[in-house]
Structure 1
């Protein structure tokens, strides 16, 4: 197999490089790295659960850092549990709740949830639980009437994300909570907020929500750390047994550099928040509608306008294969992905695109781009200039549609 550098040299390396695959991987800004460094080299390395001086010092730093981390959410640090990221948080929210509450055995999720929610629910199905999925409309928004119909006395938990990580659709979460709690206040509501955090203002104190998932890497923080909000009084059991630690839901010694990096990423993401989101939205619209209007036979995947998260661009280019698109884009210095990382190496269409009614050929031609504050207008211009050539070239090769 040829090495990547060899392939690039063979096909010609682009002088311009634009990274818009923030959904699937990220580097951290210098400020985040600098916030993490002291915890690797100087302080906060002891186990905060141990009662010696260095353990106490680490615990104090841990508490201080956690307070900064949850500030934008308007919650108590005691209700926010550090995890290893959104996958663990979602597993704890679904399976940990089921483990702690065995009387009711029905789990409801939307059909467009992150695979960690989908697979956690299916695991519980193998344990005797009934699973129901709420269908979505063609824009990715859930059918609230259907949700109303499927809630019953057996329902334990309803899990509906705030915003979709792949197509950007924002769910009517407040209405979801009202419907569920009007039916039965004891039914728990969980929301994966990892794609929305840092792009929307979220006040958990004003939402009657029981559990919520967050992830550091989605806001340019370090990988391998996230969080789970658990409302006071909600019973959840850990999935793993482990050593002495502060965090009871994720029993492992707290990795302070990652927590510090997460907190710094939160601080940076919420600086000049309104201006930041306005800028992101303008770049998103420029890219989304620029490609849609200049490249024929193109479909917008997901909701539009205020019902779409500020950083998300997802389009299907009819007559192109997503894998070929990502390779060709890469040769032109544009780093993006086809669908989400969880399914991109499997020759199956994204379950999310299938849920919104895309045919296999439409789903396979999808391209996901995420914009961050590190992207510039000049980079967006380069994508708009390059992508029509990429799509035209691939369509000529396949001869799948008339040009």
Structure 2
């Protein structure tokens, strides 16, 4: 095995598993009851109760390996955090309880690395302590955002401010009661080289000129905080809110995606593990044609294939995490892209089998499977569609044999 979990990583994993058993799983029913009461943009009180318990046990900001002294969190490597992320994926709100939820986790990484001291002072502390939420505004309804260089929200310098004009959507969580900050990517210099045209800014959500537009659902589901369209009309923010350097937005976006894909994929494996558990439990309880479903050869084949595929998927992600820890995100780009393609597809198939074993109940709200199904299918689009990652992987492989290989046409790069 090329990687090894540290003693601290094993300790935190055991603590997280114990917390899940003692506090998270028993609170699922209460969470959904309270969510029904507060609505999709509200904040179920049980989450704050659980967050206080998790923070008291040191199970907090587990995803962030580099923290300044005094910042609350546990300094874990990508390899150490990966199996913890898997555990959190088994219950939808568990990541928030540990203050490891997207998109805040990725935004915290950006602010931690690229924000000015003033911006860090105002926003990073409240995010690290779980007091507020944030959203990531990158995708646009009028641009093929799978190619990030198409992003067209305009960022114009005007003295000591930047002015933002344009539309975003799928700014996940932006309508949440506690969302206070947007991390926004836009085009700041259309005449620069293709990958130097964009910048990122920290934009307070209450800045004049920001309003919400359409509110898309995802396969009919309205998630907490929504995925709203955000409209920017002459929105002015101080130049100090620039993240990194002007023209560095594309590079920051790419850097953000590396750890995020590890987290997404391991949470997806957690989803698949729970779906497999539900599949087996259902197969042992339901009888057809004289025996339980668990006695049927087809069901046994699905269970066996699911176990094999989940275990292979986990090893692939851990391999990618190990490379990120040892040689860096750039050198691990093929593996990071590879897991982003492979894992959602594998986990989607496991969930699909579980739905089939549950019959009609599997597509209703009476099991978590329908929501799992929607989430796993959506993950094949989040952070870039499968086809883009396959194209990038193929390009790197071809260049091992022909370093001068380039794609023809307007997409060359």
TM-score (norm 1): 0.25
TM-score by length of 2: 0.24
Indicate the structure with greater helix content. 2
Higher relative contact order (CA 8 A, sep 6+): 1
